[in-house]
Amino acid sequence: MSTFRHAIEARDMDAVDALLAENVVFRSPVAFSPYPGKAITSAILRAVSEVFEDFVYVREIADPEGGHALIFEAKVDGLAITGCDFLTYDDDGKIVDFMVMVRPLRAAEALAREMGARFEAIQAQALSYLERRQQ
């Protein structure tokens, strides 16, 4: 089974999808409310993989309880950004909670702008995913 880090580094978004639980909750660094569900989480991750430039994980910290913190560096609209993906897994090894934190503020604001400009497409992709699953 691929790890989340390996899937992201390989830019294999289908492998990323396979690691998400249906009931995953995504906690964005630029939105107040969390996004529940695999469909919207997958769509957000696909969009952010296009927004981030020169993305690289620089450190991984494992929690004895089974969680992970993956520290990354990237660029957004030419601005350097540092962040951390906090992952919590269920008993089947699927991600059930995905929280992202980023800094500095100017880069976080650029990320918010870039993702905001794509949010209508993100919602449409999530809806399409749900419709395919119902067929």
pLDDT tens across 58-76, in order? 999 988 887 899 999 999 9
Query: Would 134 be classed as within a structural domain?
Result: no
Threshold 0.75, pTM exceeds: yes
Query: Would 135 be classed as within a structural domain?
Result: no
Q: Which of 59, 76, 79, 77 is nearest to 68 (CA)?
A: 59
Residue located via tokens 């540092």: 82
Residues 56, 135: Cα–Cα separation, whole Å: 37
Query: Would 69 be classed as within a structural domain?
Result: yes
Structural domains in the chain (count): 1
pLDDT tens across 75-109, in order? 999 999 999 999 999 999 999 999 999 999 999 99
Q: What is the CATH number of the domain that holds 112?
A: 3.10.450.50
Angle at Cα 60 formed by Cα 54 and Cα 65, nearest 5°?
Answer: 145
pLDDT tens across 4-41, in order? 999 999 999 999 999 999 999 999 999 999 999 999 99
State the residue range of the domain holding 117: 4-128
Query: Would 133 be classed as within a structural domain?
Result: no
